[in-house]
């Protein structure tokens, strides 16, 4: 499974994974999404959990499931992270990229399993 994170204002706190199942966690609640029945070329429609769909897109190509997931950020200018293997996912990490050349008001933050994480403009993201 390959995953990529998009920077958003509202979404899950973090994710966990079990084979082709993705579990979105938010405020102590969770919702599971099972992609084991997907075949090559399939694109999944995701139901809403909380007030947003926690998975923006799911597609299976070449036998590999590709998921666009969400990471909540605040302050700063952000862009999507790179694709990586799900085995490399760290729920305490930041998987989107802070655009450091653009100045913003406030301290950039990202939501992780540990809560809101302030991001130094000197710190690398992803």
Per the CB < 8 A criterion, the answer to whether 73 and 109 are in contact is: yes
Closest to 112 measured CA to CA, from 19, 23, 25, 4:
25
Q: What tokens does 51 get? A: 């007030």
The predicted structure's pLDDT at residue 44:
84
53: left (phi over 0), alpha (psi -120 to 50) or beta: beta
The predicted structure's pLDDT at residue 126:
47
Residues facing 30 on adjacent strands: 25
Greater pLDDT, 106 or 1: 1
Q: What are the pLDDT digits (tens) for 54-102?
A: 888 899 999 999 999 999 999 888 999 999 999 999 999 999 999 888 7
Residue 120 pLDDT class (50, 70, 90 cuts): confident
Percent of the chain scoring above 70 in pLDDT = 91
Instruction: Provide the CB-side half-sphere exposure for 38 (13 A, CA).
Output: 26
The predicted structure's pLDDT at residue 2:
97
In the chain, domain spans: 2-118
Q: What is the Cα–Cα distance from 77 to 75, expressed in whole angstroms? A: 7
Distance of CA 36 to the CA centre of its chain: 19
Greater pLDDT, 51 or 82: 82
Task: Round the average pLDDT of the chain to a whole number and report it.
Answer: 88
Instruction: Provide the CB-side half-sphere exposure for 45 (13 A, CA).
Output: 0
Give the three-class secondary structure for 106: coil
């Amino acid at each position: 499974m390959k995953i990529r994170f998009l920077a958003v204002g509202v979404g899950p706190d973090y994710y966990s994974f079990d084979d082709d199942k993705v579990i979105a966690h938010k405020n102590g609640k969770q919702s599971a999404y099972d992609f084991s029945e997907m075949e090559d070329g399939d694109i999944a429609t995701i139901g809403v959990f909380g007030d947003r769909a926690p998975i923006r897109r799911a597609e299976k190509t070449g036998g590999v499931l590709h998921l666009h997931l969400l990471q909540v950020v605040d302050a700063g200018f952000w862009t999507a992270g790179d694709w990586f293997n799900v085995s490399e996912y760290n729920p305490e990490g930041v998987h989107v990229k802070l655009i450091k050349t653009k100045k913003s008001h406030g301290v950039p933050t990202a939501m992780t399993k540990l809560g809101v994480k302030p991001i130094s403009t000197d710190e690398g993201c992803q």
